[in-house]
Amino acid sequence: MTLTTYKEKRHFEKTLEPKGKKIASGRGPLRFVVHKHQASHLHWDLRLELDGVLKSWAVPKGPSMNPVDKRLAQHVEDHPLEYASFHGTIPEGEYGAGTVEIWDEGVYAPMGAEVERAEAEKILRKQLSAGHLSIVFLGKKLKGEFALVKTHFSEKSWLLIKANDEYAKK
């Protein structure tokens, strides 16, 4: 996995965002974070730890706990693991200029598979390349099963959909 695009887009002498140096992968459950990013357009960034980076999607309307809502999620470049704890202001003129706050965070896993990290990553890697993630969030706001599904509209367009479980809200 590469952070080349992430690094190319940013001037680290101007932004306080992490430089993306290689750090060791964590242990235990895989982490996720959702940033609320007030850039030129407000959006939410869903980031999933996988293979030593944060796989990232920009969700213009934000995640929904209602299974009826299909939220567009634009697949964007991998972010460094350290980005999971980043919040603050990206200066004007820089990529993504605006404020970033942590909207939700926690751990996640492939749906229906109680497996350790390496096996979970293997499953998720497959699902990612197949364009259909079926995952369970254990966050403060995001809870239970979600699908993240690649669409045919464009290469980068995915949909984030809450599954109909006991955490779903109408």
Using Cβ positions, the residue closest to Mn ion within the complex turns out to be 37
Q: Which long-range contacts (CB under 8 A, 24 or more apart) does 94-101 make?
A: 94/10, 94/11, 94/14, 94/15, 95/9, 95/10, 95/15, 96/9, 96/37, 96/39, 97/39, 97/40, 98/37, 98/38, 98/39, 98/40, 99/37, 99/38, 100/35, 100/36, 100/37, 100/38, 101/35, 101/36
Binding mask 41-80 vs Mn ion (x if CB under 5 A, - otherwise)? Answer: ----x-----------------------------------
The residue among 37 and 55 lying less far from Mn ion, judged by its C-beta, is 37
Of 10 and 37, the one with the shorter C-beta distance to Mn ion is 37
Residues contacting Mn ion: total by CB under 5 A = 2
CB of 67 to Mn ion, least distance (A): 25
37 lines the binding site for Mn ion (CB under 5 A): yes
104 binds Mn ion (CB under 5 A): no
Residues that bind Mn ion (CB under 5 A): 37, 45
